[in-house]
Amino acid sequence: MDKIVSLSKRRGFVFQSSEIYGGLNGCWDYGPLGVELLRNVKDQWWQSMTYREDIEGVDAAILMHPRVWEASGHVENFTDPMVDCKECKARFRADQIEDSPCGNPAYKGRKASKCQVEGKFTEARQFNLMFKTFIGPMEDSTAVVYLRPETAQGIFVNFLNVQAASRQKPPFGIAQIGKAFRNEINTKNFLFRTREFEQMEMQFFVKGGSDEKWFEYWKEQRMAWFLRLGMTKAKLQFHRHEPDKLAHYAKDAYDIEYEFPFGWGEIEGIHNRTDFDLTRHEQYSGKSMKYYDEETKERYTPYIIETSAGASRSFMAFLVDAYREEQAPTADGKMETRVVMRLHRRLAPIKAAVFPLVNRDGMPEIARNIELALRPHFRVFYDDSGAVGRRYRRQDEAGTPYCITVDSQTLQDQTVTVRERDTMKQERIASDALGRYLRERLAE
């Protein structure tokens, strides 16, 4: 993890939030490469979800009516048990003490569970994870609103709006990508558990009775998505929630877990939420949330199958999965270690880099023209500094799939070399065929 965190900072994937002020715990900023990677993850998800006829998109407000969170159960139930150490004042989630180190730097390497056995902890108190703020100028209890802790509720409350506007009939889904906020007691493991993060959620509305079939379908679809984007199969697994561990709304739930350097962790949850959400919103709002089927003349409350992925957690899983240290030959035949981010081409922040071999003989001008021709279609990067070997290494670390070099042969026959990131193989291509060459490969 240390290597990933340091590469992230050095290369501009992720920075600590407000770093010059010492950082803000649980918050991170995405740098130039990170913002592209994150967008690509979200775009791939959006495409896979909404480029089909049975799913529509929404983008709901982050602030919602406070009754939403009473209906959803968050005001009452969205809590974690918290304990404090009376000696060093560190704060822990009571259900994570086993995995937590002691907070006192004087006891380096000591586990928090040891302090617990020694009776240093307070009784557990329930702590609500929702961030509160006030709407309007009066900071009193009638003005309290919450920063949404999940995007799902913005979908549930819009169920009938979307259904009527798009003339969809169950089974159909609504997808949303957006920020969510949780005042986590302990943030840890880089982007894994943060206080501000992004979710990619899709709620699929089905008739009760067909819910188990659709649950299976979405479980398989979601695993296939991670695999299609190149994630290592052996590092992905399903984890089924035991019946006694199911959330209050769930009939069945699976997590898709990724094996991070610190162990297996959930990156997405697939839940059969039954008719809980729409029933609750009907009760709390007094408005019918039932669907009326014109054909069968039936009125019913749909069941919901939810796929709930963290965009930031998936980002981190893609980053970790892509990281490789490999032996590679240098220009003078020696071997050196290259760090390469084997990101799937669709996710790579920069698609191609263009280099003039040397900064003379008209090569920079030709390289600049190639860059200009490609720029409207792909994110490209121009680099003319240092030996070509070093330029390759820099692009390997950024995960750039193709490097295009203009050399002396280009001056004679208008061909360039294209070097592929993973195999490091080079081929000569006519420079005017580059657009098609890249388009074909990047679409794979």
**Interface positions with ligand ATP (CB under 6 A):** 150, 182, 184, 193-194, 197, 199, 266-269, 308-310, 312-313
Q: Pick the closest to residue 354 from 390, 405, 399 (CA basis).
A: 405
Residues 273 and 303: beta-carbon distance below 8 Å: yes
Question: How many C-beta atoms lie closer than 10 Å to residue 229's C-beta?
Answer: 20
Quick one: 253 or 366, whose CB is closer to ligand ATP?
A: 253
Amino acid found at 14 = V
Amino acid found at 242 = E
User: What CA–CA distance (Å, rounded) separates 266 from 314?
Assistant: 9
Task: Name residue, tokens 């009638």.
Answer: 142
Q: Which strand (E) or helix (H) includes residue 181?
A: strand 172-181
User: What CA–CA distance (Å, rounded) separates 237 from 272?
Assistant: 19
Quick one: 107 or 264, whose CB is closer to ligand ATP?
A: 264
Quick one: 222 or 281, whose CB is closer to ligand ATP?
A: 222
Q: Pick the closest to residue 267 from 35, 45, 8, 33 (CA basis).
A: 45
User: What CA–CA distance (Å, rounded) separates 442 from 444?
Assistant: 5
Quick one: 193 or 338, whose CB is closer to ligand ATP?
A: 193
Residues 114 and 102: beta-carbon distance below 8 Å: yes
Q: If DSSP codes are grouped into helix, strand and coil, which group holds residue 284?
A: helix
Look up residue 416 and give its two tokens.
């360039």
CB of 286 to ligand ATP, least distance (A): 27
CB of 28 to ligand ATP, least distance (A): 10
Quick one: 192 or 402, whose CB is closer to ligand ATP?
A: 192
Quick one: 39 or 394, whose CB is closer to ligand ATP?
A: 39
Quick one: 265 or 399, whose CB is closer to ligand ATP?
A: 265
* DSSP conformational letter for 63: B
Phi, then psi, of 128 in degrees rounded to 5: -80, 130
